[in-house]
Structure 1
Amino acid sequence: MDIKVIAENIEKFRSSECNTKENGRYRSWEIVFKDFDEHQDDKDYDYLARSLALYLASWGMMRGSSKLLTDYNYLIHIPAVQIILVDFPELKNYPQNEKEIDAYVRLVWKKITALKNYYSKVGISPTDTLLTKIMLGTEAATPAYDQYFRKFLKANGLAQKLGEQSLKEVWALWFKIKSDLSNEVDYPPVKLLDMAGFQYGQEN
């Protein structure tokens, strides 16, 4: 593990054109994250389902094989939004030290399981990538377990299969590197790690 390289990759992602342009594709994460934060109490499920669908489209999750585009419109996400808003404040209360990791990850995994069960019932393949991109966009409770992030996990000797153990290792990594990052930490912890993983995966 090279903490300096991880920090450099975070800065590369943050300064990339797609992330700094107001209408850049990567900014869609900020939009959906803000939408859920601002509307968590008013229960505007329709609005949040639209926001989630647009975010997933921006991040390549509306391909034909997922059926989200070919078989459904954004309304299919309303029950998922209702699941997401359960324990929402608790999942936005990120671990402050390593002792808090286990309890936090248990809560995250409970929600991932609920989302997986819902999407399975309606005929949508609940891939690890889909589920974690939803968790990343709405609560920043997990990084997105796509091909790029898995490369990053492998390079750092961490479990690549999505599960409680892997999520615990991701949070442990955060506490190892956080003191070496810029004081201007303006994103949630696993969003920063997701940036590092995405950047590393693209370059390797």
Structure 2
Amino acid sequence: MHNIENNIMNFFQQLISDKNHRYKSWEHCFLYFSQDIDKIDKEIACLHLSFYLASWGMYRGSSFLLWQDYLIHHKVVEEILKYKHLQNIDFNYFNAEDKNFEDIFKLSEFIENWYPDNIKDIPEKPKKGINVTDTLLTKILLGTLGCIPAYDRFFKDGLKTKNIQPYTKLSGKSFLEVVKFYQENKNDFLKVQKSIEEKVGVKYPIMKLVDMYFFTLSFTSSNKSLERNI
């Protein structure tokens, strides 16, 4: 028994009880990027992405982003918008042969390389310290395209509880195992997707629901509070 609906709705309850909860910044960011491309102002998109990342712990003192203004994301946003089709992946039939699978990791490679290649040395952090982690990379993709969960330590701890391997880092193999888990439990995920849409009028993408589910597992297994900091 995976208890998918209860776990996700327990997490989502925070957003219902507090309309200005910091987790709502994901929703604001994703909805902005979900508009028709001709309605998206790239500078405003950068601002949405920056605030969402900040509220999800990506602008802490150890982050190279702390030393940059929101327009540092401009070229990355431009590239992301070339891949807007990734917002519409049908994960019911997704596999390694799907062109979208290739595109996710092609875009990931661009993002992973762009920041260290284009940011100059910043105070207290030499250039070799400018590193796009799995956490930052996947939070960018989750907040803009909703095509992959955020591989932070909580999500990975959740994968571990279900023995989904490998869980220590993002990889094509790991992502396909996550998708397989969704496919085996799609009715539960689709049910909670409909329930959330009925409550708030927003259709959460499948990978956002998957992210919420595995995130909660790392907390319910240790009785911690549902606060996502990094």
* TM-score normalised per structure 1: 0.90
1:52 corresponding residue in structure 2? 49
Select 2:174's aligned residue among 166, 169, 174.
166
Larger CA deviation: 43-52 vs 131-140:
43-52
RMSD of the TM alignment (CA)?
Answer: 1.7
Rg (Cα) greater in structure: 2
For 1:45-70, what per-residue CA distance to the aligned partner results, in whole angstroms no more than 9, with x for missing partners? 1110011000001101001211211x
Whether 1:21 and 2:21 are equivalent positions in the alignment is: no
Unaligned runs of at least 5 residues, structure 2: 120-126, 194-202, 223-230
Does structure 1 conserve the Cα–Cα contact (< 8 Å) formed by 2:33 and 2:40? no
Larger CA deviation: 74-83 vs 183-192:
183-192
Q: CA deviation at 1:169?
A: 1.0
Does structure 1 conserve the Cα–Cα contact (< 8 Å) formed by 2:92 and 2:186? no
Whether 1:30 and 2:27 are equivalent positions in the alignment is: yes
2:211 corresponding residue in structure 1? 194
Whether 1:138 and 2:134 are equivalent positions in the alignment is: no
Number of positions where the alignment pairs a residue of Structure 1 with one of Structure 2: 198
Does structure 2 conserve the Cα–Cα contact (< 8 Å) formed by 1:49 and 1:81? yes
Q: Counterparts of 1:96 and 1:62 in 2: how far apart (Å)?
A: 31
Q: CA deviation at 1:145?
A: 0.5
* TM-score normalised per structure 2: 0.80
Unaligned runs of at least 5 residues, structure 1: none
Q: Give percent identity, aligned residues only.
A: 37
Change beyond 3 A, Cα 1:24–1:43: closer
2:89 corresponding residue in structure 1? 94
For 1:24-82, what per-residue CA distance to the aligned partner results, in whole angstroms no more than 9, with x for missing partners? 1111111000111126334521110011000001101001211211x211110101101
For 1:63-118, what per-residue CA distance to the aligned partner results, in whole angstroms no more than 9, with x for missing partners? 1211211x211110101101111121x201212433x3222222111111110010
